[in-house]
Structure formats: C-alpha cells, structure tokens
Amino acid sequence: MGFDDREMFDDDLGPSKVILAGIAITVACLLLVFIILALSWTNARAQAGVRGPVPNVVGSQYLDTPNAVADKQLVPIRVLPDGTVVVSTGGGSSGGTVQPIAGATGGATPYFLQPTASTNAAVIKAGAGTVYNIIATNNSVTTNYLRLYNATTGFNGCNSATNLVTQVAILPSGGISTSIPVGMAFSTGISICVTSGYATTDTTAATASAMSVTVVYN
C-alpha cells in the first residue's frame, strides 16, 4: 500500500497541533514584551543615577550629583516613598535647600484701616478674591470685632449676617495676626465691618482712634 500525501499533511495540521502552535506564539510574544519592559526599567534606573527603586521624576532627569543651578532656572525634583521632595539644585547628593524669596512684584495687597466711631463698612475688593492674613491691634480697653463679608460694590450690610464669612475679636490692649496659608476664598467680593458689639448683626460704633487693621488679600 502507498502513502497518501494529503492524508499525512492533514494529520500534521490537526486541530490540536494548531492550538499548540498558537499557544507557543502567544508565549513567545509575552516573553518579548517582558524583555522590552525589563530593558526599559533598567534604562530608567541608569538615567536616574540611583540604586534601588526608581524615584518619581518630575520635569526631567534627576541627578544625584547635580550641576550648579542658575537664578530662576527650572530644575527637576523627585518624590521619595515617604513623601519627601528632593530638589536637584546643585547642593550635593541629597539635593539643595529650597528657600522662598520675596519678589518685587506679584505679592498680595494690604488693605489698611484705622477704625472710626462707626461701623467702618467698606469694600476692600469689588470682585472675587482671597484673604491671606488679618492683622489688628487695639490699645483701648474695649473688645472690638472685625467681620469680613463675601460682598462687593454697594455693601453696607453690617446689620445683617448675610454673606458673613468670618468674625475676629480684637482684644483690648492687644492684637491679632491670623495667617491663612492657602487663603480664604471670596467669590463675589471682600468687604469689612469693625464694630464694638459681638453679635454678627451689631452696628455699635467701634472704638475710635484706638485700632489699626490690615487685611492682606489678592
């Protein structure tokens, strides 16, 4: 008996062998992807110049031994697992010291007031703004109260708690300095009242010639 070439060919490419061939190709592809990812990870470690886990890199390559940084030059930072932020500023292997400096422009605006014998109603800013600091001194023997409102042009509402945002006591023979690092938001405007009564609707005149108030805003 002779061999039927077609039968032998069909048997070699039976369903089970086709499935096995497909599995082999899939495994080979996955292995290739794994190798590519491993090489990319190794390259990232080498570029970061560190040993161990790769830190998060922001901006550009982080250097353990950075170059000197010029004034106002953009520099890369890395965030460590414990949340520490290290800045590459030419200060050595652990990064440099970051220190904020004052600028000639771009700072917040101070509003200064010496309250009179009135409610001292005034609009500090006729539009949305943010308050960062409230400073007040009082050399009288009477406690006075500073109130800020989310109100704009036309404000004269010291007799109403509508739009009241905060009230601060200005203690006698003393002062206050309230810092708000992230700022206190006012969506409409920033307005002020200073009276000598505690109630949020009080209109008792403030103590005259005894206080100085500064509201720092933007």
Nearest to 215 by CA among 188, 199, 191: 191
Give residue 194's pLDDT: 97
Nearest to 63 by CA among 49, 43, 52: 49
Look at the domain 109-217 and name its fold: Jelly Rolls (2.60.120)
Distance CA 49, CA 116 (A): 64
CB 144 within 8 A of CB 135: no
Residues with Cβ within 8 Å of residue 186, at least 6 apart in sequence: 125, 128, 129, 130, 131, 148, 150, 165
What pTM was computed for the model? 0.58
Distance CA 151, CA 190 (A): 6
Residue numbers of the chain with a pLDDT score lower than 50: 1, 8-9, 50-60, 62, 92-93
Give residue 73's pLDDT: 62
CB 115 within 8 A of CB 196: no
- For the chain, which residues make up each domain, given as ranges? 5-46, 52-101, 109-217
Q: Strands of 77-79's sheet, edge to edge? A: 56-58, 77-79, 85-87
Cα atoms in the 13 Å half-sphere on the side-chain side of 160 = 9
The one-letter amino acid code at 117 reads A
Give residue 172's pLDDT: 96
Distance CA 88, CA 69 (A): 9
| Phi, psi values for residue 164, rounded to 5° | -65, 130
Give residue 38's pLDDT: 81
Give residue 88's pLDDT: 59
CB 115 within 8 A of CB 211: yes
Q: 3-state class of 67 per DSSP?
A: coil
- 74-128 pLDDT, tens digit per residue, is 666 666 776 666 665 555 445 555 566 777 888 899 999 999 999 999 999 999 9
Distance CA 203, CA 121 (A): 10
